[in-house]
Structure 1
Amino acid sequence: MKKIGFIPLRKGSKGIPNKNKRKMVGRPLFTWVLGEAIFSELDEVYVYTDDESIIEFITKEYSWTDKVKALLRSEESASDSASTEFAMLEFCESINYDFDIFCLLQATSPFTKRGDINTCLAKIGSEYDSALTVVNTHRFLWNENGTPINYNPHKRPRRQDFEGLLVENGAVYVIGKDALKKNENRLGDNVAIVKMSEESLMEIDTEPDWIAIESLLIERQKREKESKKITHIVLDVDGVFTDGTITYTKEGEHTKSFDMRDGMGLEILRQFNVEVMVMTSEDSQLVAKRMQKLKIEHIFLGVKDKYTLLSKILLDKRIYLSNIAYVGDDVNDLTNICSVGWSLVPNNATSIVKQHADVVLSENSGAGAIREACQFIMNYNKRF
């Protein structure tokens, strides 16, 4: 059976401008869901948007997989008055309903994990024609006229004795093709429920919502961290190998300064069977030449969604985040810094990454920070 994912995005956002593209823990908001969809059991994932810059981003950023496709939606389906169902049906007709199972994913639900998607997909079959994600919330509800809805206030139950209510969190909806055609709706007649964490009930409508959800995501990533033997080190370039400054001439980028001690540290580290990888958002030929000089084979240039690419590399190499040491310096490194086994940052890194890194090095970028990180890894690995 062909299972497709569908992520609708609109340019307009009244509460938070450019919400879908704004960086949440250093990544565009929509990439949190898209990344999980890529590694789920979905066969294809479509991003349906009226924002051509997002289409360009997806085309460039996810060239390493043929699973992701970005399509331009009509102005009518992207209007304030258009429903999600309108966009769904417009899209389905455009691809002639070429699927068996349809999965609607909301980009504003960054807590969605691949396991949530897979569990919903698995529900579709002889018993259920659709599924959705919910949260079991232990809240006491009231009507505006002052009457309780779901409990007796004179016999207030303890939380552990209260079943609570199941509330849609708007994250994942899955439906079979026949039910979708019949109902023209995201849900069919026999609906299965899949529970997600209570934090996933939060919506991103205001700046305080954004701040709260970003903090929760950071803590979730850090909570899931494990520390094992370090087998790979992944390094950013500008602000890690270099001091972050670039000299330009009228022809373009001219020079970057690298510290020779850092190169020696990496050479020594490789002798202890730690593989070195470089991942940078800049697409620089100067960087490519320097890494070639250092005999670093695994160089990834022009990467904007570093976490998703790192996840792909880990799957290919059959290693884990806990085996990774990561050295970065700015917000676009933040998700990786919060997720890997050990994260290290130069002493002159930005305050946000220093706040969440495992180790703040005593040396500055471009002035021995990498050499210090290499020594830390060698000392740490001795226990294994």
Structure 2
Amino acid sequence: MKKIGFIPLRKGSKGIPNKNKRKMVGRPLFTWVLGEAIFSNLDEVVVYTDDESIIEFINKEYHWTNKVKALLRSKESASDTASTEFAMLEFCDTINYDFDVFCLLQATSPFTKKEDINICLDKLNEGYDSALTVVNTHRFLWDKEGGAINYNTQARPRRQDFEGLLIENGAVYTSTKESLISTKNRLGNNVAVVQMTEESLYEIDSESDWIVVEQSLIERQKREKKSKKITHVVLDVDGVFTDGTITYTKEGEHTKSFDMRDGMGLEILRQFDVEVMVMTSENSELVSKRMEKLKIEHVFLGVKDKYTLLKQVIQNKKINLSNVAYIGDDVNDLTNICSVGWSLTPNNATDVVKLNADIVLSKNSGSGAIREACEFIMNYNKRF
């Protein structure tokens, strides 16, 4: 049974410019749901967009999986007046409905997790022809004529005794091929509902919405953190190994400065069976040469979605985020900072990272911060 995921993206956004590409906790907004889709039970995930820069991003970023494809959608399906169903059916026609199950995922629902996707997929094995995600709200609803919709005003229930009302949150929709062909709609005639967390009801239509959602995501990642023995340490480069400055000549990048004491700290750390990995958004030959000198085997260059790649790495190594220490300094490290067992940051890191890291080191980047982090990890691991 072939299960295909579908994420429609439009270039234009009136409320928040470039909303889909804008960094939410340091990652492009659409990568939150895309990352979860990759690790779900979907067989293939298609990002359908009129933005060629997103297609280029996906082709470069997710080369480590054959599960993700990016396709250019027509101008008609990306217009302000085109419905999501129009884009869905246009895409389905181009592949001659070559799937058994269709899963619509909305990029503006960053709280979606792989478990939500999988439950919606499983519902189609229980006799339903479609499923959608909802939130149980305990708000009291009224119509514009002043009538209560979901409770009796003369017997106002306590919250703990109130069943509430299920509200569509627009995150995940699954449908069988037969239902989609028959109804030409994301939902069929026998619909299952799957509850998600209350925070997933937030809609991102304004700058104030963005702030609320971003902070809620940060707090969710932190709530899920657990700390175990550190078996792997992952480091950013610029602003961690270096002081963040780069010397350029007319030929391009020229020099970066590295602290030799940091290299010795990592060498000692490896002697205690802690594996060292490097993950940077830059694609630098200088970095490659330095890491080769330090005998660091796992070096990931040019990474923009660090969180999804980190999840892939730990899955391959059969470890958990709880076993990982992460050292970063800027916003593109933020999701990893909020998610791993222990996060550390140099004293001269950006304010948002210092605010959310577990430990703010006393040393600056390029001036012994990594050596200090290594000593913390070795002392911490003694308890195990």
TM-score by length of structure 1 reads 1.00
Which amino acid counterpart does residue 94 of structure 1 have in structure 2?
T
Give the equivalent residue in structure 1 for 2:208. 208
Give the equivalent residue in structure 2 for 1:28. 28
Give the equivalent residue in structure 1 for 2:127. 127
Task: Supply the distance in 1 between the matched residues of 2:189 and 2:126 (Cα, whole angstroms).
Answer: 12
Give the equivalent residue in structure 1 for 2:181. 181
Give the equivalent residue in structure 2 for 1:236. 236
Task: Supply the distance in 2 between the matched residues of 1:368 and 1:126 (Cα, whole angstroms).
Answer: 58
Provide Cα deviations, 1:37-83, integer angstroms capped at 9, x if missing partner: 00000000000000000000000000000000000000000000000
Give the equivalent residue in structure 2 for 1:282. 282
1:265 paired with 2:265, answer yes
SS of residue matched to 2:221? helix
Question: How far is the alpha carbon of 1:342 from its aligned partner?
Answer: 0.2
1:98 paired with 2:98, answer yes
Which amino acid counterpart does residue 79 of structure 2 have in structure 1?
S
1:333 paired with 2:333, answer yes
Give the equivalent residue in structure 2 for 1:249. 249
Give the equivalent residue in structure 2 for 1:316. 316
Give the equivalent residue in structure 2 for 1:9. 9
Task: Supply the distance in 2 between the matched residues of 1:324 and 1:55 (Cα, whole angstroms).
Answer: 31
Give the equivalent residue in structure 1 for 2:79. 79
Task: Supply the distance in 2 between the matched residues of 1:118 and 1:206 (Cα, whole angstroms).
Answer: 30
Task: Supply the distance in 1 between the matched residues of 2:246 and 2:126 (Cα, whole angstroms).
Answer: 61
**Residue-pair matches, total:** 384
Matches within 5 A, 1:150-169: 150-169=150-169
Task: Supply the distance in 1 between the matched residues of 2:182 and 2:154 (Cα, whole angstroms).
Answer: 46
Give the equivalent residue in structure 1 for 2:368. 368
Matches within 5 A, 1:188-227: 188-227=188-227
SS of residue matched to 1:14? coil
Give the equivalent residue in structure 1 for 2:65. 65
Give the equivalent residue in structure 2 for 1:48. 48
User: Where does structure 2 lack aligned partners over 5 or more consecutive residues?
Assistant: none
Question: How far is the alpha carbon of 1:31 from its aligned partner?
Answer: 0.1
Give the equivalent residue in structure 2 for 1:349. 349
Task: Supply the distance in 2 between the matched residues of 1:166 and 1:314 (Cα, whole angstroms).
Answer: 36
Task: Supply the distance in 2 between the matched residues of 1:95 and 1:379 (Cα, whole angstroms).
Answer: 56
Question: How far is the alpha carbon of 1:186 from its aligned partner?
Answer: 0.1
1:89 paired with 2:100, answer no
SS of residue matched to 1:269? helix
Provide Cα deviations, 1:205-236, integer angstroms capped at 9, x if missing partner: 00000000000000000000000000000000
Task: Supply the distance in 2 between the matched residues of 1:141 and 1:113 (Cα, whole angstroms).
Answer: 28
Q: Which runs of 4+ in 1 moved over 4 A?
A: none
Moved more, 40-49 or 122-131: 122-131
Question: How far is the alpha carbon of 1:125 from its aligned partner?
Answer: 2.9
SS of residue matched to 2:319? coil
Which amino acid counterpart does residue 264 of structure 2 have in structure 1?
M
Provide Cα deviations, 1:289-326, integer angstroms capped at 9, x if missing partner: 00000000000000000000000001000000000000
Give the equivalent residue in structure 2 for 1:138. 138
Which amino acid counterpart does residue 132 of structure 1 have in structure 2?
L
Which amino acid counterpart does residue 251 of structure 1 have in structure 2?
E
Which amino acid counterpart does residue 63 of structure 2 have in structure 1?
S
Give the equivalent residue in structure 2 for 1:296. 296
SS of residue matched to 2:128? coil
Question: How far is the alpha carbon of 1:155 from its aligned partner?
Answer: 1.3
Q: Percent identity?
A: 81
Task: Supply the distance in 2 between the matched residues of 1:5 and 1:112 (Cα, whole angstroms).
Answer: 13
1:359 paired with 2:364, answer no
Question: How far is the alpha carbon of 1:154 from its aligned partner?
Answer: 2.1
Which amino acid counterpart does residue 236 of structure 2 have in structure 1?
D
1:116 paired with 2:116, answer yes
Which amino acid counterpart does residue 375 of structure 2 have in structure 1?
Q
Question: How far is the alpha carbon of 1:126 from its aligned partner?
Answer: 5.3
SS of residue matched to 1:344? strand
Provide Cα deviations, 1:247-283, integer angstroms capped at 9, x if missing partner: 0000000000000000000000000000000000000
SS of residue matched to 1:185? coil
User: Where does structure 1 lack aligned partners over 5 or more consecutive residues?
Assistant: none
Which amino acid counterpart does residue 237 of structure 2 have in structure 1?
V
Provide Cα deviations, 1:187-210, integer angstroms capped at 9, x if missing partner: 011001100001001100000000
Task: Supply the distance in 2 between the matched residues of 1:131 and 1:146 (Cα, whole angstroms).
Answer: 32
SS of residue matched to 1:315? helix
Which amino acid counterpart does residue 105 of structure 1 have in structure 2?
L
